[in-house]
Amino acid sequence: DAGVTQSPTHLIKTRGQQVTLRCSPKSGHDTVSWYQQALGQGPQFIFQYYEEEERQRGNFPDRFSGHQFPNYSSELNVNALLLGDSALYLCASSRGPAGGVYQPQHFGDGTRLSIL
């Protein structure tokens, strides 16, 4: 039973470019959340997708957008990359939009994005 898988594992981009990160949720999960984790910091919530719609959003600019596909996989898109976008981007999946009290979010190992 595969857990949450993310691709690519590492990515290097330059300022102004655009990037797409991908996530496949754990089997049986239908909700995907994206987080940004700067070095030495806790994850910051970007947004959550359920039933192919954005259900919740954190304090991130519109440069950050996403999509969920019918098979529950998801993409995170970031436009006009800035140096400050360098971080580990984590995807987490769960059952149901609120995760559920006894349903912990399962995290992937993230995509390390470096902006030069």
SS3 at position 83 = helix
* CB neighbourhood size of 114 (10 A): 13
Least spacing, CB of residue 108 vs other proteins, in Å: 5
Q: Does 43 bind other proteins (CB under 8 A)?
A: yes
Rounded Cα distance between 103 and 23, Å, is 19
Amino acid code (one letter) for 108: G
Which is closer to other proteins, CB of 82 or CB of 98? 98
Rounded Cα distance between 6 and 80, Å, is 22
Q: Does 21 bind other proteins (CB under 8 A)?
A: no
Draw the binding track, 55-94, toward other proteins (x: CB under 8 A; -: no contact): xx---------------------------------x-x--
Phi, psi of 45 (to 5 degrees): -70, 130
The residues of the shown chain that bind other proteins, judged by CB under 8 A, are 4, 33, 35, 40-45, 55-56, 90, 92, 97-99, 101-102, 104-110
